[in-house]
Structure 1
Amino acid sequence: MRNLILGAAVALVIPTVSARAQDAAAGEKAFTACKACHAFGKNGVGPNLTGVVGRKAASVEGYNYSTALKESGITWDEANLKEWLTGPAANKVKGTKMVYQGLKDDKKVADVIAYLATMK
């Protein structure tokens, strides 16, 4: 009986892990458009995105953020990233320097967030 319960628990977990990996892989592809300004491990036109999930906004050393983003008080959790990625200036922080219009596909937004979460 114990093995049956353990097997059922494992069967429930494996598809979840697999789905997350697929989302992150799709997110890496969707992130291609972001690479024009963002990188991992260094600042570019945009700030370094290594460890962005869970990080306080405007906190990467050496990057010159807009006053609006510095004063936003945002922490980049999933909800804030979702709103940001769908329209940085229009939806989340008026006055940001980021001119990107945003992703309009909810699945791609979720995939990009899953990918960003893997980049620690």
Structure 2
Amino acid sequence: MRHLILGAALALLPLTAHAEGDAAAGEKAFAPCKACHSFEKNGVGPTLKGVVGAKAGEGADGYNFSDAMKKSGITWDEANLKEWLTDPKKKVPGTKMVFPGIKDEKKVQDVIAYLKTKS
């Protein structure tokens, strides 16, 4: 019985470590995002400073969010960011964002870890 419990606990370790994300790797994975986003000011996309924990379609003073984003009711927690970064158009149909998403789950977690350092 003890071996079964230990085995189950060990099986979960990689998932826990993976879910954390690596902010340094996330900074590198964020590089393509810089074409539209910064942490200082709005550009083609809104500033992402403070995005973690923020309500979608709000903040980023002066940015013209899509109606779909304003009406989404999303708060940018880790779960919503993961879905968004994986497939933005699926998460918020009608979004103006044309980025197709990040398909590598580790990179998604790393970008989220990086965004947390800017919030």
Give the corresponding residue for 1:15. none
Report the residue type matching 1:87 in the other structure.
D
TM-score by length of 2: 0.81
Deviation above 2 Å: which 4+ runs of structure 1? Answer: 19-22
Aligned residue pairs total 101
Q: Is the 8 A contact 1:20 1:114 kept in 2?
A: no
Specify every segment of 5 or more residues in structure 2 that has no aligned partner in the other structure, as ranges. 1-17
Report the residue type matching 1:94 in the other structure.
P
- Aligned equivalents of 1:58, 1:80: Cα separation in 2: 14
Q: 1:20 and 1:68, CA in 2 relative to 1: closer, same or farther beyond 3 A? A: closer
Q: 1:49 and 1:109, CA in 2 relative to 1: closer, same or farther beyond 3 A? A: same
Q: What are the within-5 Å matches in structure 2 for residues 1-120 of structure 1?
A: 23-59=22-58, 60-89=60-89, 91-120=90-119
Alignment RMSD, CA only?
1.7
Specify every segment of 5 or more residues in structure 1 that has no aligned partner in the other structure, as ranges. 1-18
TM-score by length of 1: 0.80
